[in-house]
A and B are shown apart, each in its own frame.
Chain A
Amino acid sequence: MFGAHLAEPADFEGWRRQARVLAQREIPPGDIVWHVGDEPMALFVDQPVNHLACDPLFRLNVPREFLDLAEQVVCHRDPERFGLLYRLLLRLKREPDLLKVATDPDVHRLNTMARAVRRDLHKMTAFVRFRQVRDNAEGEVFVAWFEPEHFIVRRVSSFFVNRFSSMRWSILTPLASLHWDGTALQIAEGAAKRDSPDDDAMEDYWRTYYANIFNPARLKIKAMKAEMPEKYWRNLPEAELIAPLIAGASQRMSAMVKAAPTSPSIRHARQQSRQAELIGGTAGIPSDWVQAATAARSCARCDLCRDATQTVFGKGPLDAAVMFVGEQPGDQEDLAGEPFIGPAGQIFNKAIAQAGLERDRAYITNAVKHFKFTVRGKRRIHQSPNAGEIKACRFWLGLEREFVRPRLIVAMGATALTSLLGKATSISSLRGQITSLDDGTPMIATVHPSYLLRLPDEAEREKETARFVADLNSAKGILSALLDPE
């Protein structure tokens, strides 16, 4: 019989070293006794593994996941843990993919043990409650008492060091204790509950919070117990409230339901009148651009306002000589509330600069002011506005034209053209010529910059981009002729 000795209950390195020696010799799991710390060695053990040398050239390859699993499993309190891990190690030598077979009885059992350890670790980070013991010249010192189910104290220590590194604290448990003095961690012998302080002034505040954050109208005791099992309650200062809170819940609930509504205080009336002033309201037809832009924010002339983030009204100087009209805001424009700032906006900016026009001096808007889209998972897919939506939004474009009075309008894309002309019209039929709108304003038509984005063929895209720039160029020519007839 082989005897493997481990320095402490969760001695991963000790297990690993001896498991290597044993695995190299293919010692069957049944021929090994694993014992921890001061436990007396079984009488029938005649071969201490510590005395066996390991061939330094011996290589034992295991999946990385196995080491992670083993590090967790050694913390479990099941006395069979070391033997089970060793048995799996031997099997992995022959079946390297065994860990992927989650339902293999060995794999399943060890995974279940690892999960129990992880849960215990997590619950310890959640349910440790520090109590302050003194506040003298040395500063605050905090002490907690906790009873973990498994041998996790060493493994959990880094969590508390990372979180409370500038504090001085101790966590006492029955098997081991952690002491942190602000710079170094000491892992010491276990302690007893009486070694820890029995109160803290903040616990009344904590209980007050616990009692008041609880909603008596939604009692779900099973859900609470599933996540905060009763075994932890004895060390939780808030747990003494659980029974009385449950007992009083239904009465509090029915009291709320039965209580007659009260009449509002005078303060409420004052606030209501203040609010009414603040919100105000501009009814009727807007008489200037600011009123139009404000009214457009709450536009509901069609259904697009329901899903769109916000109205994207036109932007630019109100004395701009040229007005660019696009189709509708896209994803980015919808989020930011500004026209032409997304990918199509970038193309537009580049083209307009190439044509020698200044974006800041132009008024830029869209035929439709709300983004139309369908949701596909996490993405929003653009949809073209229909005739009804274009017609509904013509109202706003009309006001923009009225208040800006541009000398020239550039219609970009079929939607803009349809809106400006009041009937469906193709770009190709009007491109390269000046069209006079109903109020006499000259208009030229070109493609929408997003059309250029969608062209798959690079040569085609270059050609069409050049045509787009040429259109903007001619807009510039027309504009200077209009502004300076000489």
Chain B
Amino acid sequence: MARFSVMQKLEILSDAAKYDASCASSNTTKRNSVGGKGIGSTTGSGICHSYAPDGRCISLLKILLTNFCSYDCIFCINRSSSNVTRARFSVEEVVDLTLNFYKRNYIEGLFLSSGIIRSPDYTMAEMVRVAQMLRELHDFRGYIHLKLIPSASPDLVAQAGLYADRVSVNVELPSEASLKRFAPEKQSRDISAAMGSLKLRIDESKAERAVSRKAPAFSPAGQSTQLIVGADDASDAVILQRSAQLYGSFGLKRVYYSAFSPIPDASAQLPLSDPPLMREHRLYQADWLTRFYGFEIGEILDDSSGHMLDLTVDPKLAWALRHRSRFPVDVNRADRETLLRVPGLGTRSVKSILEMRRFRRLRLDDVARLARSLRVLRNFILAEDWRPGALLDSERLRLHLAPKSQQLALL
């Protein structure tokens, strides 16, 4: 094997890591470096230190320990049948890069993942060594996210969770059938069993810390996972049902949706074209509706909508257009649940509306100051001096509200 410089390894192993969508550095225990011999702190909300032209934030040094991998997951750039250049960092190299980047305020911490070499336990142990060295030798108090190898031994998982702010396992494909087809070595039962045991450990640690603050925190920022969108033929309904089950079973902080995008040296078995970015965006919106807006998946995708989310309009607007009889909603009277279902009102606008209408009746001007835009919203609300015209009942409403670029042009 060729000997690579650290710079070359960084090039190869960050390129290999970019298909994991997670970048969060939020919601962990609050720490700072005062009184310590190292550096590092965490704030509640996390910080995005840069943004790449793909619109994604760069919060953590997201790299693989190695992109050698014995698995052959068809969608993955690092699958064993691919001929991408392979490299491997030493534990010390990852530690040095993390600290050097951190000292210059480039990053919030490290997100370390790895291809599987030798055995799941061997790989996991190397990753744990990186975290251990950062925490114990360098007293590093920044953020660490470790990707878990599903069948690694419970001891290693326990250590990983103590050093890391978050440990996570990627589900990648929404159904067992797809996993069998595209990731033959991955066992879906290993993945879910690993997430189940993480959930139990996280809950246990939370309960202990409620009694004593000195109890060690296990993965205090919780766990998350990723589903790839568009590599297999799973519908949005299947993906969202799977998410609901993942949130419900494992108390996940986030399910990330990652549009499958072309990779270097791709397998002939996969659809190579523009990544379905709008579909990914709609899935995130639907996910948000179920978690913060009181929607059930069966409402977002019902019998009349089919199994796929509407790409033209967002899922909340699509729902409202299917349920026009429920509108307009009176912003001066409606309860929180009803207001949350109004297209154009977010959780914060709803909170402001509820707070202020105890003292003053809202006019359309008021609503304009609270919401991002009135364009869609005005069609669905009543205010002190406002009621929408006949358009709400018109079949043309959808066309009227759809983004202009989506409308047909006359030749």
Residues of A bordering B, CB below 8 Å: 97, 100-103, 108, 122, 125-132, 140, 142, 144, 159, 161-167, 200, 202-206, 208-224, 227-228, 236, 238, 242, 245-246, 249, 253, 256-257, 259, 261-262, 264-265, 267-268, 271-272, 274-275, 279, 297-298, 300, 305-311, 332, 334-337, 373, 375-380
Quick check: B101 and A337 within 8 Å, CB to CB? no
C-alpha spacing A375/B51, complex, angstroms = 36
Q: B369: CB under 8 A from chain A? A: yes
Quick check: B81 and A264 within 8 Å, CB to CB? yes
Instruction: Describe B's contact surface by its main secondary structure.
Output: loop
Stretch at the interface among B211-219, B221-229, B350-358: B350-358
C-alpha spacing A271/B81, complex, angstroms = 9
Quick check: A309 and B192 within 8 Å, CB to CB? yes
Known contacts A103-B370, A265-B83; A163/B39 CB under 8 A: yes
Quick check: A257 and B273 within 8 Å, CB to CB? yes
C-alpha spacing A38/B360, complex, angstroms = 43
Quick check: B15 and A131 within 8 Å, CB to CB? no
Quick check: A166 and B356 within 8 Å, CB to CB? no
C-alpha spacing A30/B161, complex, angstroms = 60
B5 to chain A, nearest CB (A): 10
C-alpha spacing A159/B81, complex, angstroms = 47
- Residues of B in contact, count (CB < 8 Å): 94
Q: B90: CB under 8 A from chain A? A: no
Please name all residues of chain A whose beta carbon is closer than 8 Å to the beta carbon of B199 when the two chains form the complex.
Answer: 335
Beyond contacts A102-B355, A275-B185: 13 other A-B pairs, Cβ-Cβ < 8 A, are: A132-B104, A163-B39, A212-B11, A213-B58, A215-B52, A219-B53, A220-B55, A227-B57, A253-B274, A261-B265, A261-B267, A275-B70, A300-B176
Please name all residues of chain A whose beta carbon is closer than 8 Å to the beta carbon of B262 when the two chains form the complex.
Answer: 217, 253, 256-257
Q: B62: CB under 8 A from chain A? A: yes
Of the candidates B53, B176, B247, B265, which one forms a contact with A246 in the assembled complex, judged by CB atoms under 8 Å apart? B53
C-alpha spacing A376/B297, complex, angstroms = 11
Q: B407: CB under 8 A from chain A? A: no
Quick check: B50 and A238 within 8 Å, CB to CB? yes
Q: B27: CB under 8 A from chain A? A: no
Quick check: B100 and A205 within 8 Å, CB to CB? yes
Q: B402: CB under 8 A from chain A? A: no
Of the candidates B51, B97, B197, B268, which one forms a contact with A227 in the assembled complex, judged by CB atoms under 8 Å apart? B51
C-alpha spacing A400/B64, complex, angstroms = 44
C-alpha spacing A254/B73, complex, angstroms = 23
Quick check: B41 and A224 within 8 Å, CB to CB? no
C-alpha spacing A246/B35, complex, angstroms = 44
Please name all residues of chain A whose beta carbon is closer than 8 Å to the beta carbon of B55 when the two chains form the complex.
Answer: 218, 220-224
Quick check: A271 and B32 within 8 Å, CB to CB? no
A482 to chain B, nearest CB (A): 37
Please name all residues of chain B whose beta carbon is closer than 8 Å to the beta carbon of A377 when the two chains form the complex.
Answer: 248
C-alpha spacing A129/B106, complex, angstroms = 7
Quick check: B32 and A162 within 8 Å, CB to CB? yes
**Between A and B, how many residue pairs show CB distances below 8 Å?**
259
Q: With CB as the reference atom, state the residue of chain A lying closest to B59.
A: A126
A183 to chain B, nearest CB (A): 11
Q: B48: CB under 8 A from chain A? A: yes
A310 to chain B, nearest CB (A): 4
Quick check: A337 and B57 within 8 Å, CB to CB? no
B385 to chain A, nearest CB (A): 13
Quick check: B369 and A311 within 8 Å, CB to CB? no
A400 to chain B, nearest CB (A): 19
List the 4 shortest-distance A-B pairs measured between CB atoms, nearest first.
A220-B55, A223-B55, A375-B248, A162-B32
C-alpha spacing A350/B10, complex, angstroms = 57
A287 to chain B, nearest CB (A): 22
Please name all residues of chain B whose beta carbon is closer than 8 Å to the beta carbon of A204 when the two chains form the complex.
Answer: 7
Q: With CB as the reference atom, state the residue of chain B lying closest to A261.
A: B268
Q: With CB as the reference atom, state the residue of chain A lying closest to B9.
A: A208
Q: B124: CB under 8 A from chain A? A: no
Q: B346: CB under 8 A from chain A? A: no
C-alpha spacing A163/B40, complex, angstroms = 5
Q: Which of A164, A209, A259 has the most CB of B within 10 A?
A: A209
Quick check: A217 and B274 within 8 Å, CB to CB? yes
Interchain residue pairs with CB less than 8 A apart (18): A100-B355, A101-B356, A129-B106, A163-B40, A164-B103, A212-B18, A216-B54, A218-B259, A223-B55, A246-B53, A249-B53, A268-B72, A268-B81, A275-B72, A310-B192, A334-B196, A378-B247, A378-B251
Quick check: A334 and B249 within 8 Å, CB to CB? yes
Quick check: A337 and B193 within 8 Å, CB to CB? yes
Please name all residues of chain A whose beta carbon is closer than 8 Å to the beta carbon of B265 when the two chains form the complex.
Answer: 259, 261-262
Q: B207: CB under 8 A from chain A? A: no
C-alpha spacing A245/B54, complex, angstroms = 10
Residues of B bordering A, CB below 8 Å: 6-7, 10-11, 14-15, 17-19, 32-41, 43, 47-58, 61-63, 70-72, 80-83, 97, 100-101, 103-106, 175-176, 185, 187, 189, 192-193, 195-197, 199-200, 244-245, 247-251, 259, 261-268, 272-275, 277, 352, 355-356, 358-360, 362, 365-367, 369-370
Of the candidates B70, B266, B356, which one forms a contact with A274 in the assembled complex, judged by CB atoms under 8 Å apart? B70
Quick check: A221 and B48 within 8 Å, CB to CB? no
C-alpha spacing A249/B15, complex, angstroms = 14
Q: Which of B83, B262, B365 has the most CB of A within 10 A?
A: B262
Q: Which of B200, B244, B245 has the most CB of A within 10 A?
A: B245
Of the candidates B10, B36, B197, B244, which one forms a contact with A336 in the assembled complex, judged by CB atoms under 8 Å apart? B197
Quick check: A380 and B249 within 8 Å, CB to CB? yes
Of the candidates A142, A205, A213, A279, which one forms a contact with B17 in the assembled complex, judged by CB atoms under 8 Å apart? A213
C-alpha spacing A210/B199, complex, angstroms = 33
Quick check: A162 and B33 within 8 Å, CB to CB? yes
C-alpha spacing A100/B187, complex, angstroms = 53
C-alpha spacing A268/B176, complex, angstroms = 24
Q: Which of A162, A213, A222, A310 has the most CB of B within 10 A?
A: A213
Of the candidates A206, A215, A310, which one forms a contact with B106 in the assembled complex, judged by CB atoms under 8 Å apart? A206
Q: With CB as the reference atom, state the residue of chain A lying closest to B200.
A: A335
Please name all residues of chain B whose beta carbon is closer than 8 Å to the beta carbon of A307 when the two chains form the complex.
Answer: 245, 249
Quick check: A208 and B10 within 8 Å, CB to CB? yes
Quick check: A167 and B103 within 8 Å, CB to CB? yes
Please name all residues of chain B whose beta carbon is closer than 8 Å to the beta carbon of A122 when the two chains form the complex.
Answer: 47
Quick check: B266 and A228 within 8 Å, CB to CB? no
Q: With CB as the reference atom, state the residue of chain B lying closest to A334.
A: B196
Quick check: B10 and A165 within 8 Å, CB to CB? no
C-alpha spacing A376/B39, complex, angstroms = 42
B199 to chain A, nearest CB (A): 5
Quick check: B41 and A310 within 8 Å, CB to CB? no
Quick check: B267 and A215 within 8 Å, CB to CB? no
Quick check: B18 and A202 within 8 Å, CB to CB? no
Q: With CB as the reference atom, state the residue of chain A lying closest to B363.
A: A103
C-alpha spacing A163/B105, complex, angstroms = 9
Please name all residues of chain A whose beta carbon is closer than 8 Å to the beta carbon of B56 when the two chains form the complex.
Answer: 215, 218, 220
Please name all residues of chain B whose beta carbon is closer than 8 Å to the beta carbon of A128 when the two chains form the complex.
Answer: 105
Please name all residues of chain A whose beta carbon is closer than 8 Å to the beta carbon of B19 when the two chains form the complex.
Answer: 215
Please name all residues of chain B whose beta carbon is closer than 8 Å to the beta carbon of A127 when the two chains form the complex.
Answer: 49-50
Please name all residues of chain B whose beta carbon is closer than 8 Å to the beta carbon of A216 when the two chains form the complex.
Answer: 54
Please name all residues of chain B whose beta carbon is closer than 8 Å to the beta carbon of A203 when the two chains form the complex.
Answer: 104
Please name all residues of chain A whose beta carbon is closer than 8 Å to the beta carbon of B34 when the two chains form the complex.
Answer: 161-162, 165
Q: With CB as the reference atom, state the residue of chain A lying closest to B277.
A: A218
A250 to chain B, nearest CB (A): 10
B315 to chain A, nearest CB (A): 18
A24 to chain B, nearest CB (A): 26
C-alpha spacing A178/B145, complex, angstroms = 31
C-alpha spacing A97/B355, complex, angstroms = 10
C-alpha spacing A221/B250, complex, angstroms = 35
C-alpha spacing A414/B244, complex, angstroms = 30
Q: With CB as the reference atom, state the residue of chain A lying closest to B185.
A: A275
Q: With CB as the reference atom, state the residue of chain B lying closest to A125.
A: B47
Q: With CB as the reference atom, state the residue of chain B lying closest to A100.
A: B355
Quick check: B39 and A97 within 8 Å, CB to CB? no
